[in-house]
A and B are shown apart, each in its own frame.
Chain A
Amino acid sequence: MAYYVPLGIRGVLFRVGTILIGILGGIVYFLAARRRRRSVVPPSMAFSLPD
């Protein structure tokens, strides 16, 4: 995917890294998401802000 600003040779490294991280990260994410419960429990937070 092309960059909006020229990044030079670093852009190539950045792109390759992003692809590799995308693959590895995708696997890690998939495994974590599979363990997560489908139902959403709203986080319990105690805060009261003045009107």
Chain B
Amino acid sequence: MKILVAAVQMASDVLDVPSNLQRADDLLRSSHKQGVELAVLPEMFNTGYSLCPDFGPVSETAEGPTITHLRRRSRQWKMGIAAGFVERDGRHLYDSVAYVDAEGNVGIYRKRNLVFWERYRFQPGRAPLVVSTPWGRLGFAICADMIYRKVWEGYRERIDLAVVSAAWPNFACRDSGRRHWLLGHVGPLSSSIPERVASDLGIPVVFANQCGETRTIVPLLRTRIEDRFAGLSSICDGRHGEPVRADDEPRLLIAPITLHRSKGPKSWPITSPSAFAGSCSASAPS
């Protein structure tokens, strides 16, 4: 089965949700017009990704304005949308991705592997998320999740498509271009890991990264790098053909992918305790 997917590579303004939502909406509209069935937005696309004193004021539940808007678009345009946002659950904040489907159902994945300053602001998630869709089973990861073997071993044979939402920096000074001594080589991994996962697991991988300027802060090292997000969003069609890849500028990357639904066990229900706000797409695929 072939479907058209989009990796939305965009820059987000820190804590300016209306502006980011407007920008994302324009790109989603363009995706819809081109026949996209699944669109992936970057990590924290609505709030921007940066160390802030407190994300509390812009955090949302699944009933918040961002997810409510995406649900409306998803229903209206018959499109699955995966998007990163700051989730609020009681006193806790999570770096999460919401997946909304064309029926308006919502599944939420919480980032499990927090790095750098993230642990100072967020609670780590506990479980993977697998969502059944008409095209097959989707598995989710957020940014640094993808460098851990355990994440992909957990999804092996259990998903038909991997969705990765990221705000992955290039760890290189944007003025001099000089890479950071420790993290400089991690930047290019944003390009190579999705391709490797696609080849290794034999499934398509849609990787949507932020782009634009950022500031990477590593608390213990007292490191502050004035760098850029790596961009390099990609759509890898499993073991079929060459990956389609963006550069480091804002891009709407659209490409077809091939799904083989027969792979793996027949069902693997949603495992995230946070998975559902309302009725979820865990229901059997139609």
Which of chain A's residues have a CB closer than 8 A to the CB of B91? 33-34, 36-38
Shortest CB distance B117–A (Å): 7
Which of chain A's residues have a CB closer than 8 A to the CB of B193? 4-5
Q: Are B219 and A24 in contact (CB under 8 A)?
A: yes
For the complex, is B278 an interface residue (Cβ under 8 Å from A)? no
Which of chain B's residues have a CB closer than 8 A to the CB of A40? 59, 61, 88, 90
A4-B76 in contact given A21-B116, A33-B91, A42-B64 (Cβ < 8 Å): no
Q: Mark B49-64, 1 if CB is under 8 A from A, else 0.
A: 0000010111111011
Q: Are B220 and A1 in contact (CB under 8 A)?
A: no
Shortest CB distance B242–A (Å): 20
For the complex, is B14 an interface residue (Cβ under 8 Å from A)? no
A5 and B199 CA atoms in complex are apart in Å by: 13
Interface size class of A (residues with CB under 8 A): 20 to 34
A–B pairs, 19, beta carbons within 8 Å: A2-B148, A2-B149, A5-B189, A10-B185, A17-B218, A21-B218, A21-B219, A24-B219, A25-B219, A29-B123, A33-B92, A36-B56, A38-B90, A42-B61, A43-B59, A43-B65, A47-B17, A47-B18, A49-B22
Q: Which residues of B contact A (CB under 8 A)?
A: 17-18, 21-22, 25, 54, 56-61, 63-65, 69, 76, 88, 90-93, 113-123, 146-152, 182-183, 185-186, 189, 192-193, 196-197, 218-221
Q: Which residues of A contact B (CB under 8 A)?
A: 1-5, 7, 10, 13-14, 17-18, 20-22, 24-26, 28-29, 32-34, 36-38, 40, 42-43, 45-47, 49, 51
